[in-house]
Amino acid sequence: MFTGIITDIGTVTHVEKAGDLRARIATGYDTGGIDLGASIACDGVCLTVVALGPDWFAVDISAETVSRTSIGANGWAAGQRVNLERALRVGDELGGHIVSGHVDGVAEVIDIAEEGGSTRMRFRAPDALAPFIAPKGSVALNGTSLTVNEVAGAEFGVNLIPHTKQVTTWGAVKTGDAVNIEVDTMARYVARLRDWDAASA
């Protein structure tokens, strides 16, 4: 599990196709404290560490993951910067919201506008995910825990403060980019209970 609070920006240094896709990611983390098999969220995708170096780790990415995330939509290549978060440990501060790292789909950035000191971004989510996105609710975008400002059908908006743009990759995001979206787990279960009650009535 994760919190959606980004703690490092990694850089993809090498990508190869060997059965699954394997990517090497340079990081500022102390890799001496990372175990093989550990989970690290990379742009919100929970990936397993399969190799380690003094300032890098490697992950294998299945075809299923590639097809359902921005890894497939945008393509990962050397130089790609990615938001990183290590898995939540017992006793850690929960500063964002509970994030599983199981990306639900890909949203498109449809508008970016500066408002005061913040940046307002609007996104178009897949229609199937729209019912799980609510005003003032939480959503994880590229692994970042964000609060939804407004919703209109499958479109929704968020505000990014300067600090968030500085410590994540959001400062480089452009209109038309594909971003990973994970809806709030609580919203998913509420919808499931509603559907179950309706079917049982």
Does residue 26 or residue 194 have the better pLDDT?
26
pLDDT score of 184: 84
pLDDT score of 191: 67
DSSP assignments along 6-43, one per residue: --EEEEEEEEEEESEEEEEEE-SS-GGG--TT-EEEET
- Residue 20's pLDDT band (boundaries 50, 70, 90)? confident
* pLDDT one-digit tens code per residue, 125-183: 999 999 999 999 999 999 999 999 999 999 999 999 999 999 999 999 999 999 999 99
- Residue 7's pLDDT band (boundaries 50, 70, 90)? very high
* Residue 8: other Cβ atoms inside 10 A: 17
pLDDT score of 17: 85
pLDDT score of 97: 81
pLDDT score of 1: 86
Instruction: Tell me the pTM.
Output: 0.91
* pLDDT one-digit tens code per residue, 70-120: 998 788 999 999 999 999 876 666 677 889 999 999 999 999 999 888 999
- Please give, one letter per residue, the 3-state secondary structure of 88-120: CCCCCCCCCCCECCCCCEEEEEEEEEEECCEEE
- Residue 200's pLDDT band (boundaries 50, 70, 90)? low
Segment 151-155 long-range contacts (CB within 8 Å, at least 24 positions apart):
154/124, 154/125, 154/126, 154/127, 154/129, 154/130, 155/110, 155/122, 155/123, 155/124, 155/125
Q: What share of the chain is helix, strand, coil (3-state, %, to 5)?
A: 20, 45, 35
Domains and CATH numbers, the chain: 8-86 (2.40.30.20), 105-200 (2.40.30.20)
* pLDDT one-digit tens code per residue, 59-71: 999 999 999 999 9
Q: Tell me: pLDDT of 46 over 80.
A: yes
As a whole number of angstroms, the distance between CA 186 and CA 98 comes to: 9
